[in-house]
């Protein structure tokens, strides 16, 4: 069934059994038309796309799909933009004219003067990092005041979380030649979520405002952390300077005083906004294949980054989110450890990395690059209930004469029907590729999907047919005018 075709036809046989419905059979209840190409007016296309309930934007690969750009272009249709998961491990780049903004904790809606931006309870907040980001935005003329709210229930990342992150990676690095290393961003994300589950060693943003209570809690937590981290540091041969509870108290009480006007009960805020008929956009950080429950565990991050995280991470009852836009880069990138079946370890991978500027926004690390993996994307779209796709990075593939798209996996001589749960299996699968024609030249000047070369349109059609979800947006660059609607 998963045959290689030499010319870029979109053979219907590429849609494996049990996959989403075929094109034209109404893949989602509120999806845009599958056939109408060339809506010239982006604003009305955005309005049409976002009219159903509240909205969400979710990355469908291993991150860095270009979510920030899609959030940015849709925010004017919403009153609030909400981050519900992750922390400063995210790096969302938004380009407005010639100005580039790299956002980590502050929702991308901050660049829209009308939006209220919410860092909800499911996020882990590094107060120093968010303050630095707020200052950087203000220095560039972006207003940050009452338009930024931080949940009092959001957990706090402290310096010992970052040290623990680093020491744990070192400990994993010593095992089996380092193949167990997650390659984290070092932002303390995993240890902070672990403390959230542990409870007795956790702090929430609201705790920063409690004075003596914070002092007491930190005294207890720091004594536990010093014992644990001292032993861990010794085990991996690192020097350890015990944390000083009084110093941490002074530092974090000061963060509390500075952030006080932003810290509030965002659950109440979101629910009264909904009752008042205001519209909410949820901005996913990280991505579906990094989801702690549904991603390539253990090579994942520590939160539910799929749309499933919205419900717990922002106190949002199921059914309220009507438009769930999946962002797919038309090739694959991954940063950190873990399996990536379509990785190109050759010059072609390097060419994609250079053309796509695939270096981390958060850590500057070179990203691993490879062909589009549609089997993985279809799985991600399914678990997130995606109703429309935004395909980014088309211009990066434009100079390649031939393209390949992964449309299946073979493992131990068998074709896999589903995305495997076991990372070791995923590391061993052999991708089944469909070959596609190159686009035949640059696409960055195209201003509608109808302007795209036929081969590029066929490429998008393959994505649509395989996933069963319409491609409503195609991006040929990072600027707002390089977003192609249909
Ligand atoms: P955005 O929002 C790409 C990856 C890390 C590492 C793993 C765990 O920019 O798309 P962590 O520090 O979260 O414990 O690291 O997850 N990772 C990301 N990779 N983009 C991201 O976010 C990521 N967030 C986490 O590289 O492999
Ligand atoms: Mg990133």
Cα–Cα distance, 408 to 217 (Å, whole number):
52
Report CA 146 to chain centroid distance, whole Å. Answer: 26
- How many other C-beta atoms are found inside a 10 Å radius of the C-beta of residue 234? 12
Phi, then psi, of 119 in degrees rounded to 5: -100, 105
Cα–Cα distance, 432 to 406 (Å, whole number):
6
Domains of the chain: 12-153+265-485 (3.90.170.10), 155-259 (1.10.300.10)
Q: Which of 58, 63, 289, 306 to mutate to test the pocket of ligand 1 (most atoms within 8 A of CB)?
A: 63
The answer, yes or no, to whether any atom of ligand 1 lies below 6 A from the CB of 63, is yes
The answer, yes or no, to whether any atom of ligand 1 lies below 6 A from the CB of 336, is yes
The answer, yes or no, to whether any atom of ligand 1 lies below 6 A from the CB of 190, is yes
Cα–Cα distance, 110 to 425 (Å, whole number):
41
Q: Which of 71, 184, 303 to mutate to test the pocket of ligand 1 (most atoms within 8 A of CB)?
A: 184
Is there a catalytic annotation at residue 92?
A: yes
Cα–Cα distance, 203 to 239 (Å, whole number):
26
CA of 90 to the centre of ligand 1 (A): 6
CA angle 328, 322, 467 (to 5 degrees): 35
Q: Exactly one of 54, 72, 92, 255 is catalytic; which is it?
A: 92
**Residue 13 per-residue DSSP state:** G
The answer, yes or no, to whether any atom of ligand 1 lies below 6 A from the CB of 286, is yes
**Residue 194 per-residue DSSP state:** H
Residues of the chain where predicted confidence (pLDDT) is lower than 70? 1-40
CA of 108 to the centre of ligand 2 (A): 13
What contacts 432, CB < 8 A, 6 or more positions away? 2, 4, 406, 407, 408, 409, 410, 415
DSSP per-residue letters across 392-424: E-HHHHTT-SEEEEEEEEEETTEE-SS--S-HH
What contacts 279, CB < 8 A, 6 or more positions away? 50, 54, 55, 77, 78, 79, 80
Q: Which of 164, 283, 290, 329 to mutate to test the pocket of ligand 1 (most atoms within 8 A of CB)?
A: 290
**Residue 439 per-residue DSSP state:** -
Is there a catalytic annotation at residue 64?
A: yes
213-269 confidence digits (pLDDT tens): 999 999 999 999 999 999 999 999 999 999 999 999 999 999 999 999 999 999 999
Global pTM value? 0.91
54-65 confidence digits (pLDDT tens): 999 999 999 999
Are the CB atoms for 447 and 483 separated by under 8 Å? no
Q: Report pLDDT for 107.
A: 96
Q: Would you put residue 467 in left (φ > 0), alpha (ψ -120 to 50) or beta?
A: alpha
Q: Where are the alpha helices (DSSP H) in 260-314?
A: 266-275, 309-313
Cα–Cα distance, 280 to 303 (Å, whole number):
21
> Burial level of 159, CB count in 10 A (0-12/13-18/19+)?
middle
CA angle 309, 280, 471 (to 5 degrees): 75
Cα–Cα distance, 464 to 204 (Å, whole number):
42
The answer, yes or no, to whether any atom of ligand 1 lies below 6 A from the CB of 19, is no
Are the CB atoms for 291 and 308 separated by under 8 Å? yes
Crossing angle of helices 159-173 and 189-198, in 10° steps, is: 110
């Amino acid at each position: 069934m998963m045959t290689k075709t030499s010319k870029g036809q979109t053979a219907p046989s590429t849609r494996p059994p049990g996959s989403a419905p075929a094109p034209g059979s109404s893949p989602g209840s509120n999806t845009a038309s599958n056939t109408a190409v060339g809506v010239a007016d982006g604003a009305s296309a955005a309005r049409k796309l976002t009219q159903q309930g509240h909205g969400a934007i979710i990355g469908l690969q291993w991150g860095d799909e270009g979510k920030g750009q899609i959030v940015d272009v849709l925010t004017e249709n919403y009153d609030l933009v909400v981050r519900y998961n992750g922390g400063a491990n995210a790096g969302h780049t938004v380009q407005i004219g010639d100005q580039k903004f790299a956002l980590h904790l502050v929702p991308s809606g901050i660049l829209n003067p009308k939006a209220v931006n919410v860092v909800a309870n499911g996020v882990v907040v590094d107060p120093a990092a968010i303050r630095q980001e707020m200052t950087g935005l203000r220095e560039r003329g972006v207003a940050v005041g009452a338009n930024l709210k931080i949940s009092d229930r959001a957990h706090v990342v402290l310096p010992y979380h970052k040290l623990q992150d680093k020491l744990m990676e070192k400990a994993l690095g010593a095992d089996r030649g380092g193949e167990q290393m997650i390659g984290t961003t070092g932002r303390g994300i995993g240890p902070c979520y672990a403390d959230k589950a542990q409870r007795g060693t956790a702090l929430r943003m609201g705790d920063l405002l409690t004075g003596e209570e914070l002092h007491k809690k930190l005294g207890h937590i720091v004594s536990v952390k010093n014992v644990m981290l001292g032993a861990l540091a010794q085990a991996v041969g690192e020097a350890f300077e015990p944390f000083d509870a009084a110093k941490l108290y002074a530092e974090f009480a000061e963060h509390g005083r500075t952030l006080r006007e932003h810290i509030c009960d965002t659950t109440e805020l979101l629910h009264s906004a909904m009752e008042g008929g205001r519209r909410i956009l949820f901005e996913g950080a990280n991505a579906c294949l990094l989801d702690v429950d549904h991603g390539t565990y253990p090579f994942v991050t520590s939160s539910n980054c799929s749309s499933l995280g919205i419900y717990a991470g922002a106190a949002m009852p199921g059914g309220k989110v009507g438009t769930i836009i999946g962002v797919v880069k038309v090739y694959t990138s991954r940063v950190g450890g873990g399996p990536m079946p379509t990785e190109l370890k050759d010059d072609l991978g390097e060419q994609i990395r250079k053309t796509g500027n695939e270096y981390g926004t958060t850590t500057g690390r070179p990203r691993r690059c490879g062909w589009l993996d549609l089997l993985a994307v279809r799985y991600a779209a399914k678990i997130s209930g995606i109703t429309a796709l935004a395909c980014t990075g088309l211009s990066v593939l434009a100079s390649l004469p031939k393209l390949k798209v992964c449309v299946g996996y073979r493992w131990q001589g068998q074709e896999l029907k589903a995305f495997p749960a076991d990372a070791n299996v995923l590391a061993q699968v052999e991708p089944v590729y469909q070959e596609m024609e190159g686009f035949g030249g640059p696409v960055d000047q195209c201003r509608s999907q109808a302007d795209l070369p036929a081969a590029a349109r066929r490429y998008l059609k393959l994505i649509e047919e395989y996933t069963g979800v319409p491609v409503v947006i195609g991006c040929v660059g990072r600027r707002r005018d390089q977003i192609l609607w249909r």
